[in-house]
Structure 1
Amino acid sequence: MQILFHLGAHCTDDGLLIRSILRNRARLAEEGIVVPGPGRYRELIGDVSTKLRGAPASAETETLLIETIRDDESADRIVLSSENFLCRDKVALGPDGLYPKADKAAWLRACFPSHEVGFALAVRNPATFIPDLVARHAETPEARGAALAGVALEQLLWSDVVARIAGAVPGAPITVWCHEDTPFLWSEIMRDLTQHDPFTALDGALDMAERIITPDGLSRLSEFLSTRADLTENRRRTAIAAFLEAHAVSEAVETVIDIPGWTEETVADLTELYEMDVARIRTIPGVTFLEA
């Protein structure tokens, strides 16, 4: 059996991806793909993986996990998702960089030693990721500045995170994409995580676009796509981009950056670093990079 861990990251889809996939639970089950409700496994896997600390689960423990998570014994694939699989958001950033505990992917892998295990992760421009992440726990600009004390911005590299995951789970496939591209890639991301039949159309393919487009724009986009079911993925992405450009909700696509000492130059430097970092991620062995 194949088991896919979607690791987030924090401040990317905020749980929308698994909710979109869950909308298709019955349809996916017909293809042997199980998508359990997160309440069935998040705490359980957290407890078991912490207890094992990377040691392979016994056959009894592995069987218990599988039987608790799935209903269908004929399942070929299970999709699991939590932005806290690697760590809580409070410790996702620190002097040691982004996700210093990324090698805990090995703890997740060890829960299912006799099955194929893969991982998926969205990365995001630190120029917007960091403000959103620290704002979860720091309400004032001063508190947000204090939360970044000792953090070297130039060392906040997603390529390091992905490389640590890859090193912790040798041979496991890892899928990565940029959060900024998710409105255009949403249906492809859903397909990559579930591995459903490419001719199966899933509901929720515009769920992420819906967050940042006006109701009128969404209606027009949905109508456009519904009458052009034969569009290639490239043309579909181009169409979504065009509608988003024309009908985007400005408040939904802008991030308020209110961190003491940050300037436009800070944002520009972090964005340039991010672009180079993404290029490095594409070269990491075992990584499949989804891009618009």
Structure 2
Amino acid sequence: MRRFENEGEQITMKVVVHAGVAHSDDGRLLDLLKANTQVLGQWNVAYRGFSTYKNYFRTALDSFENRQSIQRAREEFLKQIPNYGNFDRLILSTPRFIGEIETAIMDGQFYPLAGQRIACLVEIFEGFEVELFIGLRNPGSFIPRALMSQPESQRQRILRQTDLSCLSWLAMIDNIRDLAPNVNFTVWSNEDTPLVWGDIARAMAGLPENAVLSEEYSLLSSLVSGTGKQEIQNLMQKKSAPCDPSLRSELSRIFDEYAMPDAIEEELDLEGWSDEIVSAFTELYEQDLAMLEAMPDIKFLRP
């Protein structure tokens, strides 16, 4: 980690950007960080959510070709650092870092402005090491959610101009890697989030893999039946390390056996969107995830 000098003061900090994607987190990760504020403080970790993005970064990212906007964002960010206290790592979380929901499907791609926006952030954070965390979501469910978030006119325009069958997260990932090559990149599948929730938080915070976090299994517990909840509680009483393979195996089994369909499945309210379309996207999505997991410059979190 490099040291940065601001008005004669030496500052050492790593900036961790959790950038969505939209409809994959809904603020739950920030809730987990808040539940572990004391632990994070012991490891000199701070975190901020949407308000920090809105107040200091949105204008620059929405006009990333404007040099003055970038410089102003950098100056304002540096002014805020002393207010964060003696922290080595700052986690910033909102999917809007890679784009507003209106740009989630545009120009035949997912988030086509993501690379330029992350490159802009890297410039704002010059002198700091930057890490990027993105949870991906099955396009079979992401596409209808993203489209139904748009006004009717915008949705119809996208449907007229976009071959939805060609949409893949790989293009977005390649775009970011090309324009921000020095950013450390961590990804995971949103469908695995209940089983890697604690791992995501530990990785963002730079904690050891055996560090215990409060409520790290609360998301998983919210998705399973009463029997599943009881089995999770029984496992927790054994106080196994979070990285224990046997614990992970048991949690995966509980999720497979006791997940409640109403909790993990959603109604995809887009005309013409069928189970067959979702299945086709799921197959392609799994292929993309396998390719990402094999990339040496990307850290991929699996259960």
Provide the TM-score with structure 1 as the length reference.
Answer: 0.87
| Count of residue pairs brought into register by the alignment | 289
Q: Does 1:121 align with 2:134?
A: yes
Of 129-138 and 75-84, deviating more is: 129-138
Query: Partners in 2 of 1:261 and 1:138 — Cα distance?
Result: 18
| Aligned residue runs from structure 1 range 139-288, under 5 A | 147-230=158-241, 232-288=243-299
Cα gap change, 1:203 to 1:263, in 2 (>3 Å): same
Partner of 2:148: 135
Question: CA contact under 8 A between 1:181 and 1:291: conserved in structure 2?
Answer: yes
Shift, 1:70, TM fit: 5.8
The counterpart of 1:9, out of the listed 15, 21, 26, is 21
The more displaced of 168-177 and 202-211 is: 202-211
Query: 257-266 or 112-121, which moves further after superposition?
Result: 257-266
1:184–1:241 CA contact under 8 A, matched in 2? yes
SS of residue paired to 1:201: coil
Check conservation: 2:108, 2:161, Cα contact below 8 A: no
Alpha-carbon contact 2:19-2:95 (below 8 Å) kept: yes
Structure with bigger helix share is: 2
Asked whether the equivalents of residues 136 and 189 of structure 2 are also in contact (C-alpha less than 8 Å), the reply is: yes
Residue 6 of structure 1 deviates from its aligned partner by 0.3
For 1:232-290, what per-residue CA distance to the aligned partner results, in whole angstroms no more than 9, with x for missing partners?
A: 44322222222223332211111223433333332222111111111222244521111
Letter in 2 for 1:86: I
Which range is displaced more, 119-128 or 60-69? 60-69
Residues 193 and 221 (structure 1 numbering): CA distance in 2 closer, same or farther, change over 3 Å?
same
The residue aligned with 2:33 is 21
1:165–1:262 Cα change, 3 Å: same
What percentage of aligned pairs have identical amino acids? 25
Q: What TM-score do you get using the length of structure 2 for normalisation? A: 0.84
Of structures 1 and 2, the one scoring higher in RCO (CA 8 A, sep 6+) is 1
Does residue 111 (structure 1) correspond to residue 124 (structure 2)? The answer is yes
| Unaligned 5+ runs, structure 2 | 1-12
RMSD: 2.7
- Give the letter for the 1:242 counterpart: R
- Taking a change above 3 Å as real, the CA distance of residues 106 and 258 of structure 1, as seen in their structure-2 partners, is same
| 1:87 matches 2:69 | no
Query: Comparing 146-155 with 2-11, which one deviates more in the overlay?
Result: 146-155
Cα deviation per residue 1:37-64 (whole Å; 9 max; x = unaligned)?
A: 5424443121244455485955x86464
Q: 1:94 to 1:285 in 2, by over 3 A?
A: same
